[in-house]
Structure 1
Amino acid sequence: MATRRPLVLGLTALLAVGLSACAKSTSDVQNAQSTGTAGGAGGQSGQSVTVLVSADTNIQDLWTKQLVPGFTKANPGIKVNINFDLHGEHDAQNAAKLAAAVKGGKDVGFDVIDAGFVTQAAGANLLLKEDATTLPALAQVNKTLVEAGKGYGVPYRASSVLLAYNTTKVKTPPKTLDELLAWIKANPGRFAYNSPKSGGSGQSFVTTVLDANMDQAASDKLRTTYDKAAMAGWDKGFAVLKGLNPYVYGKGVYPNGNSQVLQLLSSGQIDMAPVWSDMFVTAKTNGQIPASVSSAQISNPSFTGGASYLGVPATTTHKDAAQKLLEYVLTPDAQAAIATQIAGTPVLPLASLPADVQKKFEQTAPETMRPTYVSEVSNDLNNQWDQKVPGQ
């Protein structure tokens, strides 16, 4: 999850493209591969399920090395096929194919979708409805994450933005946004955040400042709706951000991307920054960030986060097998594997997971996660920040 840029695929565009007759077939997806149980093409009982995975190679490895082996061990009669689309290069075509298939009442060729367009497909009623009745484990998942799936997308891994800090320089980290802003001004040049267009950790910091300086109802609306009237409430927050220019790293230098922020932290050029939880945990585990760098979450408001969603096409012909796979992904064993393999924040309560996972994610508990704006709103945020904030 390195780039952290929102998918720009509006609901109207999804439907318009979906009703065209030019979608590429799933066989065109790059790097397609299959894994599954022994016992014939359909498994011992003839069941199979095909998962479309549209992501980076770390998510491909998660499925092929952890989730699929775990699922087929628990369900030896079901074969799992993975169709992999590197970086989501064929998202538009696959979203179009999904829309056309559902409209025509036909099977789309994949039974579970792990892609950025799942929530858009959910909003377009292209997926099977999911709730605690069909998936009892959903009752344990953070309500905010479940609601963001619009009743059709199933959250299965998450991440949030945290405040990372050098413990040798910062003995008591800020606990609230107001305390953080005061610390930045009291310690010129020791805080950095990347430009919001270049990565989600910087975008989260900007979003949090905007939220703190606008009406709560307007802020909430922007998490579900593109509303220009609500976005008019950003002016005060952008003024606060512009006022930070003399105090951030390089007196107004904004790193290009999440990784550059981590590099500044690890090299000691800054003492504090917003960072993605999974990137931070992975870098700590790999020794890329010194042990002296720790993390915490602020409040009033907290930084934002969100989940990745799975969806089942409404016209799948392998509903039972697909549903069993969703059930497995929401088990403690699968959630622990996600935490171990890619440092993804589990969506189940941490108390239900092993002690080592609880400790690793104690600062990123899914029940405290605060969602970000919808993608179209975030795009406007990026553009307005470019115009209103950088420079003295």
Structure 2
Amino acid sequence: MLKTRFSSLLRPLRRALLLTAFPLLMASPLQASEQPVDGLRWQQTLQEARGQTVYFNAWGGSPEINAYLVWAGQEIEQQYGVKLVQVKVDDIAQSVSQLLANQQAGKTEGGPIDLLWVNGKNFKALKEQHLLGAPFSAELPNMALVDEALPVTEDFTVPVEGLEAPWGIGQLNLMVNTEEVTTAPSSAAELLAWAKAHPGRFTYPKPPQFHGASFLKQILLELTADPAPLYREATDAEFDRLSAPLWAWLDALHPALWRKGKLFPTGAAETKQLLDDGELAMAISFNPGEAQSSVQNGTLPPTVRAVAMSKGALTNSHFLAIPFNASARAGAMVAANFLLSPAAQTRKADPAFWGDPSVLDPARLGAAPSASAGPQLRFKAVAEPHPSWQLRLEAAWAERYGR
């Protein structure tokens, strides 16, 4: 289980101090195992990065996130002379395949991707296929501010080992229209009962889309009395035994879903739109602040609230990684460091902009946290299973329901 503690979010500090001043960062409290960032080496990185263009492959399905990255790009270019270009993708697995093709073609430099938004099975694939560059996160000054009580050293049980820098925290939740759902379901059994009583008013995105696959893992965890096997490499026998209740649950659920389970939304954005249009009463999110943010910006009705399973919300960190053949490695490091800065993390956590929880520890900042900066890690947390379970779940789901 993950630790459920999460720091309250923080008040923006002066830009010059937060983003470029090494004395402040070096004075931040460090654990004994941590090594100070080499200030001279970082200054060399800043010089090398100036004038570079960083192509950042990131999920492009959220207008709020896309707008946030536009702001971040403007700040990075103004402060560091680095241009950040978001390459919007539906699934980061597409980027993994692109990098694998580069590797097989012998393209070891001048690659098309400089920075990746990644976690889970995609990080596992990148690491195993040696598609990432050398470890870099320890060179980022703002890593000294990260809250290490959060899941930032492992990614779905896979050791990060400096190959990624943490960016934010996600928790699976239901965005519920409380005008229609007066008592929100808080367990797999309650969700099934509600769906049967309100046919056509709930659904989930089609796996292997991230939110759909995450929903499968959430329900699997709900239905598994002893989750220990889920945190190691899945075997045929354990997968068959532990996934059997999930398939029985889905068999019972699907006839009560939107379009009777014969058609599934292509992603979270479509599901959210169905909720806004009134076709659904609940939609799946992996951002505990998305419901509040969407209500504030008018993309969801004011009666929508976020709820999670009482046993615990599937929780993970999402990360930034640099490919092995990045054309602008220095620029990518500068961009990643900015995205870890208190100013960027505070804006990201603010529901008015994104509502994605910060990964920083206010105790390391020497400043009073802001009560209005954004949501805390608000739900009881359940750790992500080993990536092998997700791969098997996706394949088995496609075999059973994908046709």
Number of residue equivalences: 334
Residues 295 and 230 of structure 1, relative CA distance in 2, 3 Å threshold: same
Q: Match of 2:57?
A: 54
Q: 2:84 aligns with which of 74, 82, 86?
A: 82
Q: CA–CA distance in 2 between the matches of 1:119 and 1:138?
A: 25
Q: CA–CA distance in 1 between the matches of 2:327 and 2:282?
A: 51
Q: State the AA in 1 paired with 2:72.
A: L
Q: Match of 1:67?
A: 72
Residues 146 and 123 of structure 1, relative CA distance in 2, 3 Å threshold: farther
Q: Match of 1:288?
A: 299
Q: C-alpha deviations, 1:72-127, integer Å up to 9, x for none?
A: 55xx5x431435544266654445547888xx9x7656895224465543445543
Shift of 1:244: 2.3
Q: Match of 2:346?
A: 336
Q: Match of 1:240?
A: 249
Shift of 1:246: 4.6
Residues 162 and 317 of structure 1, relative CA distance in 2, 3 Å threshold: closer
CA contact (8 A) 1:54 1:91 kept: no
Secondary structure at the counterpart of residue 166 of structure 2: strand
Q: Match of 2:15?
A: none
Q: Match of 1:173?
A: 184
CA contact (8 A) 2:173 2:308 kept: yes
Query: Structure 2 length as normaliser, TM-score?
Result: 0.65
Residues 290 and 316 of structure 1, relative CA distance in 2, 3 Å threshold: closer
Q: Match of 1:6?
A: none
Secondary structure at the counterpart of residue 244 of structure 1: helix
Q: State the AA in 1 paired with 2:265.
A: N
Matches within 5 A, 1:103-252: 108=110, 112-116=114-118, 120-124=125-129, 126-129=132-135, 136-137=143-144, 139-141=146-148, 143-148=150-155, 150-151=160-161, 152-185=163-196, 187-189=197-199, 191-197=201-207, 199-214=209-224, 215-221=226-232, 225=233, 227-232=235-240, 233-249=242-258, 251-252=260-261
Q: Match of 1:34?
A: none
Shift of 1:288: 2.8
Gaps of at least 5 residues in structure 1 are 1-41
Residues 43 and 199 of structure 1, relative CA distance in 2, 3 Å threshold: closer
Shift of 1:192: 1.3
Q: C-alpha deviations, 1:321-346, integer Å up to 9, x for none?
A: 65554333212211123345862513
Q: C-alpha deviations, 1:104-160, integer Å up to 9, x for none?
A: 9x7656895224465543445543335668654464055424311622111213443
CA contact (8 A) 1:189 1:270 kept: no
Q: CA–CA distance in 1 between the matches of 2:248 and 2:400?
A: 8
Secondary structure at the counterpart of residue 300 of structure 1: coil
Residues 268 and 255 of structure 1, relative CA distance in 2, 3 Å threshold: same
Q: State the AA in 1 paired with 2:246.
A: G
Q: Match of 1:355?
A: 371
RMSD: 4.3
CA contact (8 A) 1:144 1:371 kept: no
Q: CA–CA distance in 1 between the matches of 2:73 and 2:323?
A: 19
Shift of 1:50: 4.6
Q: CA–CA distance in 1 between the matches of 2:323 and 2:95?
A: 17
CA contact (8 A) 1:110 1:316 kept: yes
Q: CA–CA distance in 2 between the matches of 1:267 and 1:319?
A: 43
Secondary structure at the counterpart of residue 356 of structure 1: coil
